[in-house]
Structure 1
Amino acid sequence: MPMTAVDDAIRREAIADYGVIGEAPASSLEGLLRIAASVCRVDKAVVNIIDDRFQHQIAALGFDAAVCAREDSMCAAVYLSGQQVVLPDARDDERFTDNPFVTGELGRVRFYASSPLRTPDGVIIGTLCVFDDDVAELDAAQRSTMDILAGQVVDVLELRRAGRELRSSNDRLSTFAGQVSHDLRNPLTALVGYLELASDSLEVDEAQQATVSLARAEAAANRMTDLVGDLLSYARIGGAARHFGPVSVREAAVAAVDDLDAALRERGARVSLDVDGIVFGDATLIRLVLQNLIANSVKFTAAAGIPPMIEVSTTRTDNALVIRVEDNGPGIPEDERGRVVGLMERGTSAQGVEGLGLGLSVCRRIAQEHGGRLGIDASPTGGAAVWVTFPLLGGQ
């Protein structure tokens, strides 16, 4: 039955999931090839992965593994039947009378046997193959062992994939832990600062100031609770949980500045807000973007010995709101602007500045999940200007 483009796409996806093409062969695969060759009493064995264009020999015994065009592959002519194929002399099979691996152009294969590699989902991705330059035959026990070993090859591929996914999961967990630590630091600092201020106010009998400070501390604690909940939801289901709706950019900016109050006062920073507009998105994440961008501007400007002056503004395009955060700091060199938005990447101006390099990468990811973008320019004062776009609510 002819293979369709959909069949080829499914097979390509299954092959890609294993991530074995172009990788060094696993020692366990080489061990299985030795067993197959010994059982079948031949010198050559190979694990072939066959996509819609090429045959990839991902492990070989008795010769050097290589890649060939699918139309030249012997296994490509038979493997999709899903049946084991055993040919005492390949010259006697009309499918291979003109095959370059039989005629002498690429090889002089006589005995040929292959068993299909079938994934747990039933997708055939290649073969376990043994062959020889001399005519030979396999008995029933040898044929059965070939099929068993083909299953073992797939088991090895599954184990390698599981190990790769585990490493990837651990990497994501490490990144998530860093993100949580980074994102909670500002509201937690604000919470502690307001509680200290309330305590000092009580000591000098300033009840009104204490009440205000405690109210702001409660607000910071509530925002931190929301953030923890959203981040944990994000971790549990891979970022799919979002609470999209109308978001006032001004309210998000004011909340972000409140979270940063302690850091702003400590560094003598001034933040001006000239923002307006309602966007469609997740309120917690949009506030997180503003918090990170403002915090970065303050941190790097202060580290350069300059009193931070931060300007947050908004402009509109046809269907998006552009939020722009400008500072009077050392700026980001043009040749570094593309790199510093990467995960845990830091520019030359970050020397001696605390942090893991998560802020901009988190902001870019949030923008992308809203269908927006993040970019970096120079501000009129010579500092950095980071901008991010979010979709306007209802194209207002």
Structure 2
Amino acid sequence: MTAEQVWVDMVTDLGDLAAPPTQQLQAVVDLTARICQVPLAQINFFTRTEQRQVAAHGMDPAACALEDSMCHVVRHQQETVVVPDARLDPRFADNPFVTGRLGLIRFYASHPLTTASGLVVGRLCVFDQRPRTLEEIEGSEVGSLGVVADRVMDVLELALRNRELVHALEHGEAMRAELLTSHDRLAAFAGQVSHDLKTPLSSVSLSLELIREQLAGGAGSKEELEWLAGKAGDAAGRMSALVDDVLAFAQVGGSELHQDVDLAEVLDEVLEDVRVRLDGAEVVVGPLPVVCGDRTQLRSLLQNLLTNSLAYRSPDRPLHVEIDGGLVDHRWLLEVRDNGRGIALEDVERVFVPLQRGAHDVPGSGIGLATCRRIVEAHGGRIALHPRAGNGAVARVELPTGRSAADRPA
């Protein structure tokens, strides 16, 4: 961050704290006018384009252009500036607040408002419409402007630190709530995984126990033993697949998402891998964009969406799947449409919860769509599943255009 940006941010933060004027600031500017024996006093902040009066005595706080500001003329002066008659000072003689166009200021004095880090953000000033003699100035407390200016900054910086502390506490509370929610979800997820592992584990245990009994008793043919061993192997395979799915789900979002990925090329690879599972299904591929992201995860996204359509095909008609995408409202839109079983409206969110399936008679771990959502959200996008008019379902994915991908043709 540049020094100018630090200054702008500080002025913005302090100005926000001081507008409208706090009781403390108003009390300070009133006291300043009294001890300096003047009718007018201001606490002024500088922005890039204007001077903002954040508290004033003898007038209502207002703003003016920097080129008209008397305080801005001496913004680099680190000491107290005292001008007995501004008409006689070449720095101010032509100023509109002196000439009569905006005011008739004669006596002027100010001191910089400086943060603890040394940034000058404005000035504390006092003035009058009549000039002052040196004797009058010496008899007042104009020399105390520096002390008062320091107290103004103490008030503002204390308020700034207090606001930062409040924000930190609010952020900490939000993080705590998020952690509690994550803990509850993790506990539910772990419980569901444990439940889903018990079924194939029980099958393995039962098959092995039967094999052990038949071997111990000398009973059972070779075919029976092979059948039991096969049952155990199938159950172990289901457990292994579930563990793999859980691990893949947990790893989503851990890579840097910054390479350009041609979704048409990725989909060609996915179609080659699932060709044996198509079983007569027709997959129509339309235009697909080049997006910015992680190639491996986006491949997993396309594969999960396509295999979900394959898994939920309707027994009443041949499966027809359409996959295409393009730029819509400055975001990439990807759709996978099928004429399968479809999905009930009440299930469109539930199926994105880990280990939740659309139908219990369809094989699978129930992690595919949950993985899709994690992948899409890791890329800054969103995903939804909708019933399709007539029959089937539509999976709709929105992704940000990213860096160079925004300029690539679909």
Same fold (TM over 0.5): yes
CA separation in 1, counterparts of 2:395 and 2:79?
Answer: 64
Asked whether 1:226 is paired with 2:251, we answer yes
Q: 2:144: which partner in 1?
A: 142
Q: 1:238: which partner in 2?
A: none
Q: 1:343: which partner in 2?
A: none
How far residue 116 of structure 1 moved from its aligned partner, in angstroms, is: 1.5
How far residue 196 of structure 1 moved from its aligned partner, in angstroms, is: 4.2
Cα pair distance change 1:326/1:222, threshold 3 Å: same
- 1:17 touches 1:161 (CA, 8 Å); kept in 2? no
For residues 191-340 of structure 1, the aligned pairs below 5 Å read 191-192=193-194, 194-202=196-204, 205=207, 207-223=232-248, 225-226=250-251, 230=254, 242=256, 281-282=293-294, 313=323, 323-325=334-336
CA separation in 2, counterparts of 1:277 and 1:104?
Answer: 65
CA separation in 2, counterparts of 1:176 and 1:219?
Answer: 27
- 1:244 touches 1:283 (CA, 8 Å); kept in 2? no
Q: 2:16: which partner in 1?
A: 20
Cα pair distance change 1:208/1:7, threshold 3 Å: closer
Cα pair distance change 1:289/1:102, threshold 3 Å: farther
| Structure (1 or 2) with the larger CA radius of gyration | 2
Deviates more, 1:150-159 or 1:108-117: 150-159
CA separation in 1, counterparts of 2:53 and 2:39?
Answer: 16
How many residues align? The count is 322
- 1:376 touches 1:384 (CA, 8 Å); kept in 2? yes
Q: 2:69: which partner in 1?
A: 73
Deviates more, 1:179-188 or 1:45-54: 179-188
Q: 1:53: which partner in 2?
A: 49
Q: Which one of the candidate residues 91, 108, 123 is aligned to 2:104?
A: 108
Asked whether 1:126 is paired with 2:137, we answer no
Which stretches in structure 1 are left out of the alignment for 5+ residues?
1-5, 231-240, 255-271, 299-308, 332-348
CA RMSD of aligned residues (A): 5.7
Cα pair distance change 1:9/1:387, threshold 3 Å: closer
Cα pair distance change 1:278/1:140, threshold 3 Å: closer
Aligned with 2:16: secondary structure? coil
Q: Which one of the candidate residues 90, 94, 107 is aligned to 1:94?
A: 90
Could you tell me the TM-score, scaled by structure 2's length? 0.55
Could you tell me the TM-score, scaled by structure 1's length? 0.57
Q: 2:168: which partner in 1?
A: 166
Deviates more, 1:167-176 or 1:118-127: 167-176
- Cα-to-partner distance string for 1:9-68 (whole Å, 9 max, x where unaligned): 664344345462894333433343244334434443322121232111223333211121
Cα pair distance change 1:19/1:74, threshold 3 Å: closer
- 1:29 touches 1:156 (CA, 8 Å); kept in 2? no
CA separation in 1, counterparts of 2:70 and 2:372?
Answer: 51
Cα pair distance change 1:213/1:350, threshold 3 Å: closer
CA separation in 2, counterparts of 1:66 and 1:364?
Answer: 49
Aligned with 1:80: secondary structure? coil
- 1:198 touches 1:210 (CA, 8 Å); kept in 2? yes
Cα pair distance change 1:198/1:145, threshold 3 Å: same
Identity %: 25
- Cα-to-partner distance string for 1:69-126 (whole Å, 9 max, x where unaligned): 1121111111133333122333332222232323444333333222212234433221
Q: Which one of the candidate residues 78, 85, 102 is aligned to 1:82?
A: 78
